Structure 1
Amino acid sequence: MNGDRVIGGYALRRLLGRGGMGEVHLAATPTGGLAAVKVINPALARDPAFRRRFEREVAAARRVARFCTAPVLDAGIDGDVAYLVTEYVKGPDLAEVVRDQGPLSGGNLEALAVGIATALSAIHGAGVIHRDLKPSNVLISPLGPRVIDFGIAQLVDNDSLASQAILGTPAFMAPEQVRGEPLTPAADVFAWGGVIAFAGTGRLPFGGGAPGEVLYRIMQEGARLDGLDEGILGVVSRALAKDPRLRPTAQGLLSELVGGTRLSTATEVVERTWTGTGAASAGAQLGGGQSGGPQLDGLPSMARPAVGRGRRRWPWVAGAAVAVLVAGAALAVPELLRETWPYEADFADAWAVGTSEGGNARQAGTGYELTVNPGWRLWKSAPRREPDNGVIVSTKATLAQGAGEYGVWCHGSAGSGDRYEFAVTGSGKVTIVKRRTGTRGTTLYGPADAPITDVNRIVAECTSRGNSGDQVTLRMWLNERLVAEASDADAPYGPDEAGVHAASGATASARVRFDSFTLSPAAR
């Protein structure tokens, strides 16, 4: 029983699992959602050297884009307890799936291979090496695989072969890891090959037995790949090359599997291909706000609650400025911050929560909900500026209660209230509106009829045209169909902020749930 135990503001609900570094609990977040909280063993947490590694490695893990991963949401030290918070992924791990349902094949195996390669590409792109990729670190969600525990193996001193053998799993360790050599991302690619071989055959790639025997086979023998689908056999064989220089990179894996697609596209490939391999059981994870008044737009009025007293948190958790983030994470190359497009929200990353006169904003599980009081409009900024050369904004949204409109906005400013809004109504109308605080807005397109579903994918593009950006082109897609297009040459707004919005009718409140949000640079 967790009782009333609260760590770092997270109320522990039940134990999910135990590992060498601590316990993992299902927990309620301060805003009412769910997360997985890893509580580090006290003996480790009290070690000053460990605390320094904890801060450094979690900062690196926090930079990892969330493609096919369970992203790090929070971390800190509450008294003598170090804790790490990640997105809660409901589903079994890959080892359980293979044990209970047998080996994967066809589209499911290919989607698994793409998903894990996508995760590794995101992990390596942030300068992190996983070091312990294995079936139990791959959770199977309804939308495909999610890699967990990336970079966490580095938190314990692993300078010696003995400590590496304890932290790594012998069946999936690369030969250079067995030899105790410095590791590169190629070690994760080797582990990827072993994991996919296991998933497709149901066997450990280098057999079982005593750890020493397995490590010898890794060094001296080839992996057993008989029975693996022919379509994926070649790339798995190359990933399992003894010489790390002969293995493809994680991006190279993607190139072979899906033709060199971008990470965001690869994620969509996984989600569209996945056919529900994940079981219903839960697996153990070891791993600016604004509101507008009636009819008229108002000034910003909602802010994120202050961090509670009595516990230490790292700068990125509190939504600190970029300069603090860079200093705290000790980024050696500034380009790393520019390599994280597209931005995909987990809605715990400094999105505004709280109540104002216009309504309420809250994190709801992995989503974000706006409840709008009658006659009001709420619009919320993403914690990321738009790219300079145009932006594509997308979301999946549901009108969960009441009547009204909802969607995304771009080229906006929390300070001025300027923005272009792309909206869909519960009755199936779409509009593009240019808004400014204190005005009713100027309709640039619509209202026009458009087909809607229970959950609608809304995509908007804002692109400046002309030599001096004296015209903005605005386009809107609804459920993969282009439904609206307009342009603005009357003192058009330029790249700044973007986000989501919702508005209610005059007599009843409305509640809108956003299950995703993505910012991407527009094609030039």
Structure 2
Amino acid sequence: MNTIGGYVLRRELGRGGMGVVHLAATPTGGLAAVKVIHPQLARDPAFRRRFDREVAAARRVARFCTAPVLDAGVEDGVAYLVTEYVRGPDLAQAVREQGPLTGANLEALAVGIATALHAIHGAGVIHRDLKPSNVLLSPLGPRVIDFGIAQLVDTQTLASQAILGTPAFMAPEQVRGEPLTPAADVYAWGGVIAFAGTGRLPFGGGSPSEVLYRIVNDGPNLDGLDESVRAVVEGAMAKDPARRPSAQRLLDELVGGRPTPATASQAVERAWAVGGGGPAGGGGGPAVPGEPTVLGEPAVAGGPAALREPVVLGERDVAGEPAALGGPAGGGGSVGAGEPTRSGAVTSRRRRWPWVAGAAVLVAVLVGGWVLYAGLGAPASSYHADFAESWAVGVSNGGRTELDGGVYLLTANPGWRLWKSAPFSEGSAGGVVISSRMRLEGGSGEFGVWCRGDADTGDRYEFAVTASGEASITKRRGGRGVVLHGPVRMRKSADNRVVAQCAQRGGRVVLSMWLNEKPVGEATDAEDPYGPGATGVHAAPDAATPVRVGFRSFEARPMEG
């Protein structure tokens, strides 16, 4: 079978008790993970009923720190389940190859998995098989997979539960064959964090029966686990399910205050992406040459309207606008830059993306929707803006820039590309990660962020989205644009969040883009690539009327070399 449900199966990723997982090309040209259920299961009417019920529940799970279910169906008697494809090692592999996690790395992992459980339980789903191999380490944080899937097979007997659940991380009530509640997942969370922080199974090794006996009768071995999470893990692994905290309570205890999944997810993303390597600072990870990485982008920034953008403490106070980035027409001066719009040749390249799982800091307190970083280990060159100051405002040939209640408004004139620099320049040789929330306020055209800008030449890499939802990565040189990737048709949205990564990989630059939780793709520039430089935002109309874009946040953080 090469195709199912319109998904072209490219290669096998793994096998399990219910079927085979494939890397597949989606009908729109992206990548996904497709689990093809064993035909003998799919022929069972009872299984088909459970399949429909559990898939419907899984699709209600919010995307926070999960690899969400995208599609499901039955074709020619074969059932299949489609989820986002996450490139990166699983937690078991990461610990095996790089050793236990400590400090902020472990804290970020704990918050990320707890956030995923909050989303899963909020949809009325119980994971039932949370374990290290079901936690993938993506460049943007941990992603929990396979939630609710164990329910698809009859779990009325202890034997079947022991097969579907992993004995080392099963809750005592699951071992006894009792009805399960979300508290069983919280118990498994404690075991997973204990394993991540010590490198040991919480109840040791041996035969499944020996491990199951210890789970019911003994306490977990938490020797060597960081004190920052040990008390929370102990509470989560209480024998009595009624004494365990909920997923929300886990977040409360880990980060303080009353965080929502949105704010907690943002905190994990910020901490996770600051470093440039794996959990132990390694970087790299398994990659498949010639394939782009498709990742589940963390939660859409902002969350409920009442929540404000995070404030980062302990950063270097970078003041002042960098030198104006003028295009060949010079229409910018000290208030920014504008240049006549031109088009260039279109090329498209795809390369592998490295996985990044280095959390440099997560000492976070979330109170009233604010995320406060204590700054332990945070790089001094990270930058966060709500546009209250330090961004150029004024009028130029290219258009107008102004501040309106903390929103940075760019109005680009017809025939011009208006681009403004942030009070942040990329100083790290490793690269930079940029993110911004934006809304099209009027007109039509493209808008987004850019990196590696040069004040003298106007050269830069742009990451743009259009009003119709098309996204692209472009290399600008002397005012001309060469499209390196795209345009890719994405889902149209009034509010957009663009995340861009400009990574140095030897003598080439790898450019990666996400839009509204979804991967756009990547491009590699090996032909006279740009070095570290300025960052910023841009807008350009595609009609005879101006385009007006409101940027609501802008963040930039360096990647380690």
TM-score by length of 1: 0.59
Any unmatched runs of 5+ in structure 2?
289-301, 306-349, 353-397, 413-417, 426-431, 442-446, 451-466, 489-497, 499-513, 519-551, 553-561
Tell me, yes or no, if structure 1 residue 281 matches structure 2 residue 281: no
Tell me, yes or no, if structure 1 residue 167 matches structure 2 residue 164: yes
Residue 212 of structure 1, CA deviation? 1.1
| Partner in structure 1 of residue 437 of structure 2 | 459
| Partner in structure 1 of residue 36 of structure 2 | 39
- Give 1:222's aligned amino acid: G
**Is the contact made by 1:428 and 1:450 (CA closer than 8 Å) also made in structure 2?**
no
Tell me, yes or no, if structure 1 residue 156 matches structure 2 residue 132: no
- Give 2:267's aligned amino acid: V
**Is the contact made by 2:112 and 2:264 (CA closer than 8 Å) also made in structure 1?**
yes
| Partner in structure 2 of residue 78 of structure 1 | 75
Aligned runs of 1:279-358 on 2, under 5 Å? 279-281=284-286
Aligned runs of 1:284-433 on 2, under 5 Å? none
| Partner in structure 2 of residue 66 of structure 1 | 63
- Give 2:200's aligned amino acid: R
Report the number of matched residues. Answer: 346
- What root-mean-square deviation, in Å, do the aligned CA atoms of Structure 1 and Structure 2 show? 3.9
Residue 133 of structure 1, CA deviation? 0.2
- Give 2:286's aligned amino acid: S
| Partner in structure 2 of residue 29 of structure 1 | 26
Moved over 2 A (4+): 340-343, 427-433, 444-450, 452-463, 476-479, 498-505, 507-514
Specify whether residues 429 and 83 from structure 1 end up closer, same or farther in structure 2 by C-alpha distance, changes over 3 A only: farther
Residue 161 of structure 1, CA deviation? 1.5
Match of 1:25, SS state, is strand
Rounded Cα–Cα distance in structure 2 between residues aligned with 1:185 and 1:112: 19
Residue 458 of structure 1, CA deviation? 3.4
**Is the contact made by 2:263 and 2:303 (CA closer than 8 Å) also made in structure 1?**
no
Rounded Cα–Cα distance in structure 1 between residues aligned with 2:400 and 2:434: 12
1:252-304 CA-to-partner distances (Å, cap 9, x unmatched) read 11111112322122112212222332652159xxxxxxxxxxxxxxxxxxxxx
Residue 32 of structure 1, CA deviation? 1.0
1:474-521 CA-to-partner distances (Å, cap 9, x unmatched) read xx9989xxxxxxxxxxxxxxxxxx98577999x9897566513279xx
Rounded Cα–Cα distance in structure 2 between residues aligned with 1:135 and 1:59: 25
- Give 2:420's aligned amino acid: A
Tell me, yes or no, if structure 1 residue 450 matches structure 2 residue 451: no
- Match for 1:54 among 51, 56, 62? 51
1:69-120 CA-to-partner distances (Å, cap 9, x unmatched) read 1111110001111000110000111111111111110111111101100100
Residue 430 of structure 1, CA deviation? 5.6
1:2-25 CA-to-partner distances (Å, cap 9, x unmatched) read xx7111111111111111011111
- Give 1:17's aligned amino acid: G
1:293-327 CA-to-partner distances (Å, cap 9, x unmatched) read xxxxxxxxxxxxxxxxxxxxxxxxxxxxxxxxxxx
1:441-495 CA-to-partner distances (Å, cap 9, x unmatched) read xxx86457632699753324799xxxxxxxxxxxx9989xxxxxxxxxxxxxxxx
Residue 57 of structure 1, CA deviation? 0.2
| Partner in structure 1 of residue 507 of structure 2 | none
| Partner in structure 1 of residue 515 of structure 2 | 516
**Is the contact made by 1:92 and 1:282 (CA closer than 8 Å) also made in structure 2?**
no
Specify whether residues 30 and 16 from structure 1 end up closer, same or farther in structure 2 by C-alpha distance, changes over 3 A only: same
Rounded Cα–Cα distance in structure 2 between residues aligned with 1:501 and 1:81: 34
| Partner in structure 1 of residue 186 of structure 2 | 189
- Give 1:268's aligned amino acid: Q
**Is the contact made by 1:24 and 1:36 (CA closer than 8 Å) also made in structure 2?**
yes
TM-score by length of 2: 0.55
**Is the contact made by 1:430 and 1:449 (CA closer than 8 Å) also made in structure 2?**
no
**Is the contact made by 2:116 and 2:144 (CA closer than 8 Å) also made in structure 1?**
yes
| Partner in structure 2 of residue 265 of structure 1 | 263
Match of 1:140, SS state, is strand
- Match for 2:212 among 208, 212, 215? 215
Tell me, yes or no, if structure 1 residue 236 matches structure 2 residue 241: no
Rounded Cα–Cα distance in structure 1 between residues aligned with 2:205 and 2:163: 16
| Partner in structure 2 of residue 144 of structure 1 | 141
Specify whether residues 516 and 430 from structure 1 end up closer, same or farther in structure 2 by C-alpha distance, changes over 3 A only: farther
- Give 1:9's aligned amino acid: G
Percent identical: 66
Specify whether residues 235 and 32 from structure 1 end up closer, same or farther in structure 2 by C-alpha distance, changes over 3 A only: same
1:116-146 CA-to-partner distances (Å, cap 9, x unmatched) read 0010000000000000000010111122211
Specify whether residues 509 and 151 from structure 1 end up closer, same or farther in structure 2 by C-alpha distance, changes over 3 A only: same
Match of 2:206, SS state, is coil
Match of 1:451, SS state, is strand
- Give 2:49's aligned amino acid: R
- Match for 2:221 among 204, 219, 224? 224
Specify whether residues 50 and 99 from structure 1 end up closer, same or farther in structure 2 by C-alpha distance, changes over 3 A only: same
**Is the contact made by 1:129 and 1:188 (CA closer than 8 Å) also made in structure 2?**
yes
Rounded Cα–Cα distance in structure 2 between residues aligned with 1:88 and 1:518: 13
Rounded Cα–Cα distance in structure 1 between residues aligned with 2:271 and 2:399: 29
Residue 217 of structure 1, CA deviation? 0.8
Rounded Cα–Cα distance in structure 2 between residues aligned with 1:67 and 1:173: 24
Rounded Cα–Cα distance in structure 1 between residues aligned with 2:13 and 2:471: 36
- Give 2:285's aligned amino acid: A
Residue 237 of structure 1, CA deviation? 0.4
